């Protein structure tokens, strides 16, 4: 029988319990993944008792309250607080999403918060997105045109513009890619749903003159065809987009071109 030994410090242990000090009658327990590479210690789950009478409605508000009032050492990304920047993506109650748009009232029982799955963790809730951004760069996500005049609008028809609906709204939060089993196991080679949706966004832009090259660039056993249409990506997208459909469309374009 094969025996697999995990490194000693990979085991997640029980962490610190922060008891409520406000005597609130409306308490919720929030369990948060913590890991600080500078200490050499195991990752742990800290539990915070949070006074919900004085907490706005979203999971990000909860984390801000913990950071501001209970434990300033907690690390997580956030910026816009309006579902626009994508930086607060994390795993809440077992599902990837944006902490700033997820109402904590939707979570029953204790609130469990983890970093996005299958990323290297940099600290606490902050995952390492370097590989994903390099992959994003590899699809050259900008308009390629021989038109030199940058003083004029580069217009397109209404119907061409509508072909970008469901694509341009992507905020590169990585909720989809980090919920994709194919990306978990082959994330260094498979581009994953977030980057493939972005690739498709430029393939579909009527103003772009590089469609053929863009298609050829992703037409690869590992980069594209590792998608097995499991659909986790589409279920995970907090913006309601459909990366699985975008990937299927790229495959269809390649099959019929």
Task: Considering only residues 152 through 181, tell me which ones interact with ligand SF4, judged by CB under 6 A.
Answer: 170-176, 180
Binding of ligand FES at residue 91 (CB under 6 A)? no
Binding ligand SF4 (rule: CB under 6 A), the pick from 27, 219, 231, 253 is 231
Closer CB to ligand SF4, 100 or 174, in the complex: 174
Q: Phi and psi for 27 in degrees, rounded to 5?
A: -110, 140
Which of ligand SF4, ligand FES, none interacts with 84 (beta carbon under 5 to 8 A by kind)?
ligand FES
Binding ligand SF4 (rule: CB under 6 A), the pick from 55, 62, 63, 197 is 197
Residue 145: CB partners within 8 Å, gap ≥ 6? 154, 207, 208, 209
Task: Considering only residues 99 through 158, tell me which ones interact with ligand FES, judged by CB under 6 A.
Answer: 100
Binding of ligand SF4 at residue 232 (CB under 6 A)? yes
Which of ligand FES, ligand SF4, none interacts with 199 (beta carbon under 5 to 8 A by kind)?
none
Q: Residue 175, class by beta-carbon neighbours within 10 Å (0-12 exposed, 13-18 middle, 19+ buried)? A: buried
CB of 32 to ligand FES, least distance (A): 17
Binding of ligand FES at residue 83 (CB under 6 A)? yes
Contact 150, 69 (CB under 8 A): no
Closer CB to ligand SF4, 125 or 244, in the complex: 244
Q: Which two tokens stand for residue 95?
A: 């599902």
Q: Which two tokens stand for residue 7?
A: 């490194």
Which run of H or E residues covers position 251?
helix 243-256
Pairing of strands 89-92, 27-34: unpaired
Binding of ligand SF4 at residue 239 (CB under 6 A)? yes
CA distance 234 to 237: 5
Which of ligand FES, ligand SF4, none interacts with 243 (beta carbon under 5 to 8 A by kind)?
ligand SF4
Q: How many CA atoms lie within 13 A of 107 on its CB side?
A: 25
Contact 232, 181 (CB under 8 A): yes
Which residue is listed with tokens 């430029």?
Answer: 202
Stretch touching ligand SF4 by CB under 6 A, among 21-29, 72-80, 137-145, 234-242: 234-242
Closer CB to ligand FES, 80 or 105, in the complex: 80
Closer CB to ligand SF4, 100 or 197, in the complex: 197
CA distance 158 to 223: 32
Which run of H or E residues covers position 211?
helix 211-218
CA distance 92 to 32: 10
Binding of ligand FES at residue 43 (CB under 6 A)? no
Binding ligand SF4 (rule: CB under 6 A), the pick from 30, 92, 111, 237 is 237
| Residues near ligand SF4 (CB under 6 A) | 170-176, 180, 182, 193-194, 197, 227-233, 236-237, 239, 241, 243-244, 247
| Residues near ligand FES (CB under 6 A) | 78-81, 83-88, 98, 100
């Amino acid at each position: 029988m094969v025996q697999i030994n995990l490194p000693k410090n990979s085991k997640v242990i029980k962490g610190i319990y922060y008891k409520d000090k406000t005597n609130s009658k409306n308490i919720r327990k929030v369990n948060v993944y913590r890991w600080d590479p500078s200490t050499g210690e195991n990752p742990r789950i800290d539990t915070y008792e949070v006074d919900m009478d004085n907490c706005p409605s979203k999971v990000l508000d909860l984390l801000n309250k913990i950071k501001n009032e209970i434990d300033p050492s907690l690390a997580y990304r956030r910026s816009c607080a309006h579902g626009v920047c994508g930086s607060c993506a994390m795993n809440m109650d077992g599902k990837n999403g944006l902490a700033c748009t997820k109402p904590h009232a939707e979570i029953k029982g204790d609130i469990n918060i983890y970093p996005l799955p299958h990323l290297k963790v940099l600290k606490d809730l902050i995952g390492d997105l370097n590989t994903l951004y390099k992959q994003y760069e590899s699809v050259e996500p900008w308009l390629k045109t021989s038109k030199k005049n940058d003083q004029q609008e580069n217009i397109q028809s209404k119907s061409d513009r509508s072909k970008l609906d469901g694509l341009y709204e992507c905020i590169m939060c990585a909720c989809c890619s980090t919920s994709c089993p194919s990306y978990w196991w082959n994330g260094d080679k498979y581009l994953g749903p977030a980057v493939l949706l972005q690739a498709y966004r430029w393939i579909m832009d009527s103003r772009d003159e590089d469609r053929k090259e863009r298609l050829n660039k992703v037409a690869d056993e590992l980069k594209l065809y590792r998608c097995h249409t499991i659909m986790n990506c589409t279920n995970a997208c907090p913006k309601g987009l459909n990366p699985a459909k975008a990937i299927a469309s790229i495959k269809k374009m390649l099959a019929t071109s």
